[in-house]
Structure 1
Amino acid sequence: MKQNPKDNSFILRSVMLFGSIVIAFYLGFLSANWYERYRDGRMQVLEQNLDSFSEQNAQLSARVNEADIALTVAKLANERLQENLSEAMKARTELKEELSFYKRIVAPELSNVGFSIDNLEVSPSAINRTYDMQLTLLQQTQRRNPIKGSVSIFIRGEEGDEAKTYALDQLMFTDSVKDFEFKYFTSIDFRFVLPPTFDAETIEVDVQLSKPSQGQTNYLASYDWSSILAPSSGD
């Protein structure tokens, strides 16, 4: 029986088509398998990086916490140190004042005029540029008669880049009693206001005695403004 050429050509094309389909499926399988392995490898790398980043973040967080704790401890220690220093300075000042007071009482020969200025303090008032001054005089010798006299006070400083001196009388609101008569001690109070452009630097106290002892007629003392200025209530 003679075979038809058309049938042979059909069979050949069918075989080639089937082979192409088989090859295509095989290549697709290989591609899918490769992509799955690539994806798994990529995911593994990403997971390793994520674990590494998490570990580094935990270490950094621990360091930050340690630094915060150290900073807090250092801050508390510094605050305590400042408190101790302030208390020590306050105690030193009080002891110095007490020593000075008893020294003048026990050793009156340290004063040639029979008295001394025990304390001079200036305190800011609630009114701007207004101050209260308290002058305390102390008797240093045993006398039957009281000590009599008067006091003049001058404030020196700068005003408009020029040296300026004001008598306290010029700066007070009202006249204040400047004469004194006392035994043991006395305090004299003044209230005054400084001009807006005046910067005080020193205060001079001139005490004149009515009956001078040992020929002396006055007692002069000078004080630095910053050393006698008490802190305001808002500080």
Structure 2
Amino acid sequence: MVRHQCPHPYHQTQRRRLIEKTALFIVIVLLVLFFVLGRLSVKDVKQYQADNARLKESVVKLTKANKALVKRLDFIESSKVIDAQSQKDARKSLVKLHEELSDTKEQLAFYQRVVAPETLIKGLYIDSFDIRPLDEKGGYDYELVLAQGTSQKQVIKGQYTFSIVGDWQGEEKEFLLEDLSIEGLKSGNFSFRYYELLTGEIKLPIGFIPKTVSMIINRSKKGSKPMQEQWLWREVVSG
């Protein structure tokens, strides 16, 4: 039987030195590799930080631009609202101006009829008669304007009354002023030199459908004939 013998001491020394050199080489290679990887990692971190800084700067710029656009949009919308309101106010003012102008023209025409020599109307006449509905259902107020030409310098006196004819409960019915007047008037009095505005309130029966209005004016002067005038209901009712 042959026993295994250990290598010669010289060979053992050479093998140990080879192992030491190999281990040292491996350590150096690993150190170099770690150094390179570390440098690359540092470069990646710095690049990331730089990119992140640029992104933050872009976000700030975009945020400012967005705020500016929002303010501009709000200004534009506000301008539109202001313009629309201005146009609305202007239209209202224009309508009001037309109404005032129309009223002024009517008043001017009235005074011309009463005062102007070239448009004199002799004697007593009805300048206008208007009926306007009130808030209360069936309630109305009326305005009667009587006048006489300026050639008539004496005070004129008398009474007026009117009646309304229409359908009520399936039949034609006439209601006198005393039936309709809130104040219970049978007739109204007038006394003037040039003109007079006479007003009052009436209330129509529920279900009554008016069709015509008949006015009678009696002067107090003896021998004077009654003045009569008739209108369709739609001609005298306004509003």
* TM-score (normalizing by structure 1): 0.65
For structure 2, which runs of at least 5 residues remain unmatched after alignment? 1-9
RMSD over aligned Cα, in angstroms? 4.2
Report the Cα distance in structure 2 between the residues aligned to 1:68 and 1:83, rounded to whole angstroms.
22
Pair 1:64 & 2:52 matched: no
Pair 1:133 & 2:142 matched: yes
Please state how far the C-alpha of 1:80 moved relative to its aligned partner: 4.7
Please state how far the C-alpha of 1:33 moved relative to its aligned partner: 0.7
Match for residue 228 of structure 2? 218
Match for residue 100 of structure 1? 110
Contact 1:121 1:134 in 2 (8 A): yes
Pair 1:33 & 2:64 matched: no
Report the Cα distance in structure 2 between the residues aligned to 1:74 and 1:29, rounded to whole angstroms.
67
From 164, 171, 187, give the equivalent of 2:180.
171
Aligned-pair identity (%): 12
Report the Cα distance in structure 2 between the residues aligned to 1:77 and 1:225, rounded to whole angstroms.
32
Match for residue 43 of structure 1? 53
Report the Cα distance in structure 2 between the residues aligned to 1:19 and 1:163, rounded to whole angstroms.
125
Q: How many residues align?
A: 218
Residue identity matched to 1:72: I
Residue identity matched to 2:180: L
Structure ID, larger Rg: 2
Report the Cα distance in structure 2 between the residues aligned to 1:54 and 1:97, rounded to whole angstroms.
63
Please state how far the C-alpha of 1:152 moved relative to its aligned partner: 1.2
Contact 1:156 1:165 in 2 (8 A): yes
Change in CA separation of 1:108 and 1:151 when aligned onto 2, cut-off 3 Å: farther
Pair 1:151 & 2:146 matched: no
Match for residue 189 of structure 1? 199
Match for residue 213 of structure 2? 204
Report the Cα distance in structure 1 between the residues aligned to 2:209 and 2:32, rounded to whole angstroms.
105
Please state how far the C-alpha of 1:196 moved relative to its aligned partner: 6.5
Report the Cα distance in structure 1 between the residues aligned to 2:35 and 2:208, rounded to whole angstroms.
102
Change in CA separation of 1:26 and 1:181 when aligned onto 2, cut-off 3 Å: closer
Change in CA separation of 1:186 and 1:70 when aligned onto 2, cut-off 3 Å: closer
Change in CA separation of 1:199 and 1:73 when aligned onto 2, cut-off 3 Å: farther
Report the Cα distance in structure 1 between the residues aligned to 2:71 and 2:171, rounded to whole angstroms.
61
* TM-score (normalizing by structure 2): 0.64
Please state how far the C-alpha of 1:146 moved relative to its aligned partner: 4.4
Residue identity matched to 2:104: E
For structure 1, which runs of at least 5 residues remain unmatched after alignment? 230-235
